[in-house]
Each structure stands twice: as C-alpha cells, then as structure tokens.
Structure 1
C-alpha cells in the first residue's frame, strides 16, 4: 500500500497549475510560485499543506489528502517570528503521525510587537491579501484603534478594508459614520454592513480576493460576519454587554475557513493589544497626509510643534488636519521605533554575552594547556 505522499511527483512540479489541479489546495491559494518553492521538499517525499489553526505545538493543516492534525517539532516552533501560524504553507512528513518539517517563505504577514523578553515580532497570520478591520456601529468608533489595525495591515503588505458592522442597529446613520471616518482617515476604504439584513455584503465581497483575515476587538461581530460571507454557520457567535458593547471571546484561536468558489477567510480572537514593531512603512501610509505636509516644512528636522514655517501646524490651525491625529501619528512612530530599538539592543547584548562566554572558554583552555605543559 502506497503512502499518502508517494505520488508527489505527479501533483507537484508543474509550472501551469490552475485552481483545481491540486484538489483542495488550488482554491485555497496554491500556485506555480509555491509549486516551484516546494520542489526540494517534494523530492524528499514531503506533502504541501496550508495551516488552518495552531494550538500548543500542534496544528490542523489542509492537504491534498484532507485536513490533518500535525505535530510541530521544537526546531520549527522556534523559527524566528513565531514559527508556524495560521495561513502558513508548510511541508508535512508522514510517519506514525503527520509532522511539520518546514515552513515556506511568507509572501505577506501581519506582525505585532511581542510582549515577552525575546523582543521578537509576533506573527499573527501569514500569506493574506486583504485585511478586514471590523468596528461596530453600536458604540463609539475609536480612530486610534482603527489606525493601528490599518498600520498593521499596510506594513504587512496587505490591503485593508474598514468594515463598520451592525448597520441595522447603528447608533445614528451608517452613511454619515462611513463618510466621517473616511474623511478622518484619508486613503482608507470604509463601508458599512449588516450580517443580518445583508446590506453591504455584496459590496464587501467585491473587495475581497484570495486570502482575507478579519481583525477587530471582541464584540464587533467578526464571527457573525464570517458566517454571513461564507453562507453557513461556521463560527460560534455570542452576545455583547449592553453597557459597554463588549463581548466575550467566542473565537479563541485563529482559524482558516475555505470559501466555496475559491479563497479563504481567517477569523481571529479579539485583540486586546496591538503593539507595533518597526512598522514605519505602515504608519506612513496611515498618516500619508501628515507626512506629505511634513515634506513642505521649512526645516527638514521640524518636529511640528512650534517651529516657524511648519506646514503641519499650519494645517492644524486652518482645520485641515486634526491635532489629535498628529498626536496619534507621533505616538505610534515612537512606539514602533522603541520596540525595534529594544530588539536591536537585546540582540546586541545577547551577541556580546555569547562572545564573552566563548572568550572565557578559550582562556580557560589556554590556561589548562599552559598549566599542563601542553603546546
């Protein structure tokens, strides 16, 4: 009896793959570029797959033979920037159990600053094309939180769409909320939807393609939106508190869900913290209006506070730019650069300590040889 990967050579190695040539893998993102990257793994008898969810050293993987429960060994878990995450393409070895042996290069990924002492960035999801930034119209919209999600998305090489959910029970007029938020965030694509009435869903579907992840705090209706877009009850949903519009975490891990007709949706738990790490490019896109004005300042090192000839302060004075927006831009840049500098400092310190240890060992070896008359 042949093993599940014994015929890899017949399903891999083609440069003209279409979405159906690899069974379930084509519709969820496999293509000729990935096929080429996988050549060496296929020659070693490994099987390609896409990670659906990760949980404590194990993961569910969509493969050509179905969804497998795979073990992730320590050497893969310890790879830089989070090892294996939902959305990754991996190489699977079959034995007594399925085992992840390698992770293919990520085309895109969303990273946030890690709270641990390793100072590594933490990958949230990988290989996504579109990011839905979800916020509910049943409570006060917080530009600072939405701008952070936008920076995360743009810095990861993805296209964000701000989706204002629960338009059927909105506090006020959804159209006004969309217009106000779009005006406050130049360059952001904003629309309102209702998962219950279906309003806005077709317009949202037109903006999606390939792999899409939904981000946002708990209680904004992410799982309900996933169910509406997929067309079936795939994710559990929960109620929110009337007092503060917060919900409990009905989604407890990131999960990749194939869509009929091609593409995938990735649902995520509510994110309490969105620390940015070396994300200047993404921040620059969120605040492109401020950076364009900054280029017009009289002095190249203008800090946009009280310097003469400051184009940013002039725009604030005439109402073109909100002062709070400038404050959020400066805060986000400081945070992102501090996290990156912290990481560099820790890495430099780790390298110094490593070399000191090597030097001590060498000196000890020299002393031993001298004390024992060895040359």
Structure 2
C-alpha cells in the first residue's frame, strides 16, 4: 500500500470513529474527498450563532468563523446539521471554508416580506413535529408542518406531547386517530415525559440518523429532548398555571447525540411556519383529495363548480370533510403565491386566472341584476 493510500485509510478511520455518532458515513467521506485534497478537515455544525459556529471534528468540538460562507442567498447560509470543510487544527482564526451539498433540508418561508426561504435544519432523516395536548389540537397547523416535513425529504413524525394531561386512554386514542387522518402516511404517537408514555417507541424511532424536533413554543420540545438525551441538556421553564403550556426556552438550533444512537436537533419554538415551494408536500398531506381529483371529469378541474368533479362529490357525501378541503385550498394558494414571487411566468398565469375569474364574477353579478349583455 502506498503512503498516500495508507494516509487516506488512516484519515478515513479517524474521521469515521469521531464523527459516526453525528451521522458520518461512506457517502459523506466520498463527498469530502475534494476538500481533503485541499488539506481541509471535516466536521458537522452543531450550533450557529452570530457569524460563528460550533463544529464537531475528528479533533473535538471547535469554534469556527463562517465569514467565507456568507452568501447573498439566505437558502445557502450555513446552518445546524451541515457538514463543513474547515481549516485544519492550528489555524487562527479557524474558518469554515465551504459546506458539503445537503441531502435534505427543512425550509420555511422567511419572516420578511421578501421571497426568501429559511433553512432550519440540514441533512435530516426525520422531522418530529411536537404538538402539545395541553391545548386544543390545531389540525390545520399539523397539516402545515407535515407538508414542510414531506417537502424537506425527511420522514415526518407527529408526537402528541403531555399525554399525561389527557384523562383517559379512549380519549387519547381518539386524538391520535384524528391526527392520523389529518396526516395520512405519517407515524403519530402520544408521549409524556412525566409518566413515560410512548417514550420507548419514540427512542426507537430516533435511534438512528438525524432527527429535527419542531413545534410551537411551549410544545414540550426541550423537555422531550432532555428525556431522550438522558440529561438536562436543554433549559426548561415552568409550565404556566393559566393554560398548562410551557414557555419558550430554546433560542438556538442545537445538534446533540442520543445515548441509544442517532442525533437530535432541537429548535426554538416556531410562531409561524410559512410554506416554501412545498407543492409536493401539500399533495402528500392531502393524498385523499389528490386521489379524488384524479377521478374528476376535467384534468384541470378547480374543484369549484365544475360538472363531474369527484372532489365536490366526496364533499357532498361526507367522505371529505369541509375543513379538510378548505385547508387544502388555503395551503395550495399560499404555496402558489410564494412560488410566484420567484417565477415570473407563474405570476403572469396567476394574474390571467384572476382576470378570468373577475370577469366571470362580474358577468354573474350582472346576470342576477338582469343586465345580461
């Protein structure tokens, strides 16, 4: 074996041993070859904060500067979960030079009015959506989260937290069933950090790969993370007496390893999760509506008033709940608007549809008034 080959095998084995708990595999090793040839070191970003990030490397956890990876496109900003190529040990300051192409990414629309997306976590295998049972279930919000999860390329999972607050098993079963109908094809489980309900099953689900934990403030994410990790890694605040909700504690996205295997990214509570080019995700969440739509008489059926519309027929028979169709339409419109911000041709098509619908509306109003032209 040549000296170069021997060195590569040694480097690979060192990186694999140190980084395997964080998800390093043969695929990442191969993707890193060009960077290794430049003398750079691999590592996974476990936290980003104000132009710097904490990176786990074969040498341990280091603080690195991200000045070299500050693009104009917010979608390309380095984030928790990225695999980075950074300066070797001894460099001062130590910079992240580049990051490897992402396999998956959970993206929502930015909070600004611009057409920007925000990457919340990169290279994730599953997205766990935490929903508190201390308050009434918001099924529309669950649909929104799971649409983004499907679109990310990760496997969505819905965890109904604080299950100990539900008075009986039958009621808990009904709540789980409601969410299963709302998120077809998604694993749904009830869990409680207080009495241990569902935790063994959840630990098995997240015991490999990388999981991102998402949800509103007070959904019990940090408590759940601490339970899975087995220590008080995340700060937890007291539950409010008035409504049983926890208060927001996590302020940054942190990647931590789990004792049973796998890695977990805990995130701050999300007040809003706007869709970001999530057309495929919306179709997955509303799979039954998409199936009805394939049976419509017209391929371009808008499911409004067209004859032979299978979606409206399912609505009339009660097979399809009105709330479900309204939520589908809302998310479709929202996603279309965000895509149109970056697609000029789609913008023109939407404006044309608005003009046609406007003319049809005016014609209908005139007909009612007896002013048919």
Equivalent-residue separation in structure 2 for 1:202 and 1:212 (angstroms): 16
Equivalent-residue separation in structure 2 for 1:331 and 1:42 (angstroms): 47
SS where residue 134 of structure 1 aligns? strand
Contact preservation (8 Å) 1:114, 1:121: yes
Equivalent-residue separation in structure 2 for 1:47 and 1:297 (angstroms): 56
Q: Is 1:167 aligned to residue 163 of structure 2?
A: yes
SS where residue 343 of structure 2 aligns? helix
Q: Which residue does 2:367 correspond to in 1?
A: none
SS where residue 108 of structure 2 aligns? strand
Equivalent-residue separation in structure 1 for 2:74 and 2:179 (angstroms): 37
Q: Which residue does 2:197 correspond to in 1?
A: 199
- 1:11 deviates by 4.2
Equivalent-residue separation in structure 2 for 1:85 and 1:41 (angstroms): 19
- 1:115 deviates by 3.0
CA deviation string 1:54-99 (max 9, x = no partner): 1110111111111111110154354551410000000011411221
- 1:158 deviates by 0.5
Q: Which residue does 1:362 correspond to in 2?
A: none
TM-score normalised by the chain length of structure 2:
0.85
CA deviation string 1:175-214 (max 9, x = no partner): 2211222133322221101112111111112222310011
Q: Is 1:91 aligned to residue 85 of structure 2?
A: yes
SS where residue 163 of structure 1 aligns? strand
C-alpha change, 1:82 and 1:175, in structure 2 (3 Å) is: same
Q: Which residue does 2:139 correspond to in 1?
A: 143
C-alpha change, 1:138 and 1:261, in structure 2 (3 Å) is: closer
Equivalent-residue separation in structure 2 for 1:45 and 1:202 (angstroms): 43
- 1:289 deviates by 0.6
| Greater helix share, structure number | 2
Contact preservation (8 Å) 2:143, 2:182: no
C-alpha change, 1:264 and 1:162, in structure 2 (3 Å) is: same
CA deviation string 1:265-290 (max 9, x = no partner): 11000111111121101111000110
Larger mean Cα displacement after TM superposition, 202-211 or 149-158: 202-211
Q: Which residue does 2:321 correspond to in 1?
A: 322
SS where residue 111 of structure 2 aligns? coil
Equivalent-residue separation in structure 2 for 1:83 and 1:291 (angstroms): 34
SS where residue 324 of structure 2 aligns? helix
SS where residue 128 of structure 1 aligns? coil
Equivalent-residue separation in structure 2 for 1:262 and 1:222 (angstroms): 19
Q: Which residue does 2:99 correspond to in 1?
A: 103
TM-score normalised by the chain length of structure 1:
0.84
Q: Is 1:63 aligned to residue 57 of structure 2?
A: yes
Equivalent-residue separation in structure 2 for 1:332 and 1:166 (angstroms): 28
For residues 8-19 of structure 1, the aligned pairs below 5 Å read 9-12=8-11, 14=12
State the number of aligned residues: 336
C-alpha change, 1:8 and 1:247, in structure 2 (3 Å) is: farther
Contact preservation (8 Å) 1:76, 1:100: no
Q: Is 1:344 aligned to residue 338 of structure 2?
A: no
For residues 4-43 of structure 1, the aligned pairs below 5 Å read 9-12=8-11, 14=12, 22-43=16-37
SS where residue 75 of structure 2 aligns? coil
Q: Which residue does 1:178 correspond to in 2?
A: 176
Superposition CA RMSD, Å? 2.1
Contact preservation (8 Å) 1:137, 1:171: no
Q: Which residue does 1:365 correspond to in 2?
A: none
For residues 243-262 of structure 1, the aligned pairs below 5 Å read 243-262=242-261
SS where residue 213 of structure 2 aligns? strand
Q: Which residue does 1:366 correspond to in 2?
A: none
SS where residue 22 of structure 1 aligns? helix
CA deviation string 1:11-59 (max 9, x = no partner): 44x5xx6xx8623301211111111111111111111000011111011
- 1:320 deviates by 1.3
Q: Which residue does 2:227 correspond to in 1?
A: 228
SS where residue 256 of structure 2 aligns? strand
Q: Is 1:52 aligned to residue 42 of structure 2?
A: no
Equivalent-residue separation in structure 2 for 1:277 and 1:21 (angstroms): 35
SS where residue 157 of structure 2 aligns? strand
CA deviation string 1:81-126 (max 9, x = no partner): 1410000000011411221000100000011112335523211100
Q: Which residue does 2:272 correspond to in 1?
A: 273
